[in-house]
């Protein structure tokens, strides 16, 4: 058993909580459990975030710039409505089975920032939207985009909650005012850095 440990700025090592035999060579060897590719043909796709649940399933989310993302039957959204749309895929623990895949977005640009699963395997997604018709649910905290202007960083924060099988949008809302809330102007050192955030439960 071992854990990552931060040793200093940009420097990491390993922490070994259990005793080990220091007279023999110590090998910490990660194992590739599974790997896959996904996306649309003929258009760009960018990965942004990933997470897992208590059952070991793996979730990946990014942007799709076109139609044809391999959505599953009964998905929350099976079509792309805008230039860039959030896409989410859920895989089995060994990444051999696609459990669900869906678009989430409106008529403009969306970006996923972060995802996390609760104990009931519902998926919570934090992102941003410039769309006027991002899918919100009844009685949502905010059902309209406060800033769907034409600027690159315009838009609101969005928070959405999906059922474990990806067929139901259990909750979805905008969060923002009449200026840009969905991106950070100050953290754009690398591609996509403006679209960063973290969701916690």
DSSP secondary structure of 54-94: TT--EEEEEEE-SS---PPTT-S--S--SSBEEEEEEE-TT
User: Quick one: pLDDT band at residue 187, thresholds 50, 70, 90?
Assistant: low
Query: Above 80 in pLDDT, residue 151?
Result: no
User: Quick one: pLDDT band at residue 161, thresholds 50, 70, 90?
Assistant: very high
Question: What's the maximum distance between 2 C-alpha atoms anywhere in the chain?
Answer: 64
Mean pLDDT rounded to a whole number for the chain: 87
pLDDT of residue 152: 59
Provide the edge-to-edge strand list for the sheet that holds 156-162: 110-117, 123-129, 156-162, 169-175
pLDDT of residue 188: 61
pLDDT of residue 160: 98
Tens digits of residue pLDDT in 24-36: 888 877 778 888 8
pLDDT of residue 194: 74
Give the Cα separation of 60 and 162 in Å (integer).
Answer: 14
pLDDT of residue 91: 97
Percentage of the chain modeled with pLDDT above 90: 50
Q: Are 68 and 41 in contact (CB under 8 A)?
A: yes
Query: Above 70 in pLDDT, residue 96?
Result: yes
Q: Are 181 and 142 in contact (CB under 8 A)?
A: no
What token pair was written down for 102? 């869906």
Higher pLDDT, 189 or 48: 48
pLDDT of residue 61: 94
Q: What is the pTM of this model?
A: 0.81
Mean per-residue pLDDT for 136-143? 95
Query: Above 80 in pLDDT, residue 109?
Result: yes
Torsion angle of alpha carbons 154, 110, 169, 133, nearest 10°? Answer: 60
Q: Are 114 and 123 in contact (CB under 8 A)?
A: no
CB atoms within 10 A of CB 162: 27
Which residues make Cβ contacts (< 8 Å) with residue 136, sequence separation at least 6?
A: 142, 143, 172, 173, 174
Give the Cα separation of 79 and 105 in Å (integer).
Answer: 9
pLDDT of residue 24: 86
Distance of CA 53 to the CA centre of its chain: 13
Mean per-residue pLDDT for 50-68? 92
What token pair was written down for 66? 């076109």
Burial of residue 7, with CB atoms counted within 10 A of its CB: 0-12 exposed, 13-18 middle, 19 or more buried: exposed
Burial of residue 99, with CB atoms counted within 10 A of its CB: 0-12 exposed, 13-18 middle, 19 or more buried: middle
Q: Which range in 37-41, 66-70, 111-115 is most confidently predicted, on average pLDDT?
A: 111-115
């Amino acid at each position: 058993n071992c854990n990552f440990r931060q040793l200093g700025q940009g420097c990491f090592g390993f922490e070994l909580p259990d005793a080990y035999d220091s007279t023999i060579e110590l090998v910490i060897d990660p194992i590739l459990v599974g790997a896959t590719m996904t996306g649309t043909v003929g258009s760009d796709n960018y990965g942004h975030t990933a997470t897992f649940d208590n059952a070991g399933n793996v979730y990946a989310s990014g942007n799709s710039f076109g139609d044809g993302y391999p959505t599953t039957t009964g998905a929350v959204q099976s079509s792309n409505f805008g230039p860039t749309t959030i896409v989410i895929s859920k895989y089995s623990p060994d990444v051999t089975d696609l459990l669900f895949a869906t678009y989430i977005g409106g008529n403009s640009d969306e970006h996923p920032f972060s995802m996390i699963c609760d104990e009931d395997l519902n998926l919570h997604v934090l992102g941003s939207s410039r769309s006027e018709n991002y899918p919100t649910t009844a009685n949502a905290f905010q059902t309209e985009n406060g800033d769907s202007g034409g600027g690159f960083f315009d838009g609101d924060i969005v928070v959405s909650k999906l059922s474990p099988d990806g067929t139901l949008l259990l909750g979805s809302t905008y969060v923002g005012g009449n200026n840009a809330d969905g991106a950070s102007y100050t953290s754009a050192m690398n591609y996509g850095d403006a679209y960063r955030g973290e969701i916690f439960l």
